[in-house]
Structure 1
């Protein structure tokens, strides 16, 4: 077992030095075209050619149950979403400097799910752009430069947002204006996660002030996905948010991964903690694969920022983007996907917990709805086992299940299938886990 920390892009990634795999003509073209920036899943990358619901199909006709990709949140190639995009593209798609009833109707629908204080929406194409803008707004309104994030957070890939994404850094650490705090876990804070996390934020604020940056914002993914999925106890974020506000900083809720009903209990992850953010960022599942993202913000904060710097996004909020996003909202509501996430997610969590009672290689089981983290550990020491996680991930591929990893050591299976997952598919996954673990030394 190795406790070497792993970057988010290194987890379950294809190694370009694998000469056997590079013999694949399509892979060779990919490597030559994209070079060092190419990131592919698995030791033997898969060429996918089609998808539907929770399943993807490769070039050889093999079907895979997708527990990996939370972008097609309401199901791969959902016909209602696809039809809405196609219809709008065939009618009109232009930049956001024209009036569009499609766009305004969507924004009103989106705002109806959020606290009433969050009245303005800035549409972007990616969560990275949304977080970048949120950070700029925080600096403009507080006059401070400092940010607090968790120790294995990921918030995007612009230059600015990469600075607050420690899990994306292969070498070095975050710059001085960024202070990390431990993920809200029992390993760091014992049984009182709420008090421990708040104290860590207090100390981070003091450190930023000592360094001369002050506190601009606490930026949190409210399911702490890249940290390893930490959701409970519900409400533990509230004292830390109050501490940030008392210190003059803002709270940015990154809902790119936990938003749109995935946690089951609530439509937004932050709602599980009974807090009201100053800004909310969202993306990925927003358009079910169509590039749609947004920042929702209190009007006074946006007005202060726009007094000195304007903002315009050519493709953010186009009619087609709004049509895609509206269709996603309609499908979530019409198909009861938030309730499904709660019910099927609860069933999965129950089954994993039951399995952990007889298999010591399974450690903590955490999460809410269809966002679950399952730790894989050395059965003798209970320490993280990234090597076991790698074996399980590749073993699940052999069982036609796709899944990824999270956490600082890459030992946490990150379970986030489409929200339309049914009971039969959940059981398929459970049996696949049992089969793979049964083949490995216990």
Structure 2
């Protein structure tokens, strides 16, 4: 990757003196301003409120009753009723809410990983589009040089006007590619701005990717850390949540007891008596059996979903690493041999055409080979970046994962 980065970086410096947006700046801006992440952070407070509410005991109830509406003979009763939860309902509610609180924290971590991966992908997408535009401009210079060389030989009578036509056709094709590259760069920049969640008027370009991609750990190490991923930890916690919900539904089978204390006064007898009462529903028909069954099946479903997530992650990790290794092998081949050889072929063909040793078809063929090699090189970098982003999306910070043992 060194060849293209130094090559493109020099062109960037010459093209613009404005400050470049770095990866760290893009990440900091996204974490501070991305609206989706800001909305997700409120889930922590929501879960805290749910946990607090789950621990509250039922409120007492005050009732007033009158028997006989005549003033001289009526009897009035004032009672205080206090529901008492039986069967561990309050503890079961707290358990469910606590699991949800833990899940909110892990879900926020997962969304931060996703946002980090999205920013990296958009950043390197903008960087790749920027490099493709620079290479298109260099290809334009190459095509214009070919036109000048062909026109010089035509004017001196050493070449046919057909050579000039071929050079013009090549130049037109390169100009079309340049316009496409300009459009793609603008689109990539807008995607980066969107995922960052804030306009970045102080920056007109991204850095030249001088910060290379970190080394991705081997498959054995990644697979050994799969249980530590936010997705699997969340899936495991969802099993615990379903189990806690099942426990709550089982506790709901036991009816609550209501204790009543009060005072009754009779106008007719001019006497006040104390009133004490107990009440409890009879679980004759509704024993919450339907909700218990549904909660048990949800727990089974959560276990299967967790297993499915692990299987999918293992497959994604292996295929992603294969893509990473393939792309990096291609990048090394382009760096070491393909790009230098293609550039040398263009220089040789152009000098040979100027001296009359080659025809212009050789020059065009060499130019097209170099342009194609540059495009394939950028594509290999994009594929390597995509693999890196997919690992980031699963594990979070790959650099931190590489440093940890």
Identify the TM-score tier after normalising by the shorter chain: under 0.3
Could you say which structure has the greater relative contact order, defined with CA pairs below 8 angstroms and 6 or more residues apart?
2
Q: Comparing both structures, which one devotes a greater share of its residues to helix?
A: 2
Q: Comparing both structures, which one devotes a greater share of its residues to strand?
A: 1
- In the superposition, the TM-score normalised over structure 2's length comes to 0.21
